[in-house]
Structures are given as structure tokens and as C-alpha cells.
């Protein structure tokens, strides 16, 4: 079964997402970790058009900037109507998060609910050089 979402995967890196706003970290000289948990993430399966549900976890070590949570919530809600594979959504979130926050280090994990008896977990890490 083909869906209208399939064509999106070829250009997923170019999809226009809402911006993730930041605020200035007053402790850029300190190494500490911020953990964010988005337990109600949803997107659309590009094959079936059915909703996918996940718990997205973001652990990061800020440098100059920290993620502003209201804009991050709007950013995550954007995916609600987007047909995107699990692997693509985690990579896209990583690209956008790194571009906005410029962290020292970040790990993003998507723990997706089982679909067809298969549970998917996708993790990506980034470390500033």
C-alpha cells in the first residue's frame, strides 16, 4: 500500500520545521547535563499513514545556549502530521537541535511503540569537535 507520505522521505532533510529557540547559559564554564523527556511524541508512518507514538529523550551538555522548552514543545508537535520514518525523525531532530543550541554533546533517543510486533529504538549522539 502506497501513501502520500512516501515522497517526503527523499527530501526529509529539507523539511521546514519550526525553530527551536534558545536562551543564554550563565554557566558556560561548567560541565553539566540537561535531560528532557517528551513521552507523547507522535508522527505518521510514511507507509501506512497511521500514527506512530514514541518517547523522545534528549540528554545534552550545554555550552553557550540552552533549549527554550515552549519552542521545543511546538517543534515536537510539528511532527504530528508529518510522514517520517523513525530513523529519519531522530536524525532530523538532532540536526535541528544542534543547529539551534550548539551543545558540547547531545544524545537523542526515540523509543517507538511496537508496530506489527516490532519495537524500534533509535539513538544518535553528537559531540562538538
| Residues tagged active-site | 45, 52
Q: Which contacts qualify for 102-106: CB closer than 8 Å, 24 or more apart?
A: 102/63, 102/64, 102/65, 102/128, 103/60, 103/61, 103/62, 103/63, 103/65, 103/128, 104/31, 104/60, 104/61, 104/62, 104/63, 104/128, 105/60, 105/61, 106/58, 106/59, 106/60, 106/61
Amino acid at each position: 500500500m502506497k501513501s502520500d507520505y512516501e515522497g517526503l522521505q527523499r527530501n526529509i532533510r529539507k523539511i521546514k520545521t519550526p525553530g527551536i529557540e534558545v536562551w543564554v547559559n550563565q554557566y558556560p564554564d561548567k560541565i553539566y547535563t540537561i535531560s528532557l523527556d517528551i513521552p507523547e511524541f507522535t508522527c505518521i508512518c510514511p507507509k501506512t499513514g497511521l500514527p506512530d507514538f514514541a518517547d523522545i529523550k534528549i540528554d545534552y551538555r550545554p555550552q553557550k545556549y540552552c533549549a527554550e522548552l515552549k519552542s521545543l514543545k511546538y517543534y515536537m508537535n510539528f511532527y504530528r502530521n508529518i510522514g517520517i520514518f523513525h530513523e529519519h525523525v531522530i536524525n532530523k531532530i538532532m540536526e535541528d537541535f544542534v543547529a539551534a543550541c550548539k551543545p558540547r554533546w547531545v544524545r537523542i533517543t526515540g523509543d517507538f511503540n511496537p508496530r506489527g510486533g516490532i519495537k524500534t529504538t533509535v539513538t544518535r549522539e553528537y559531540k562538538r569537535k
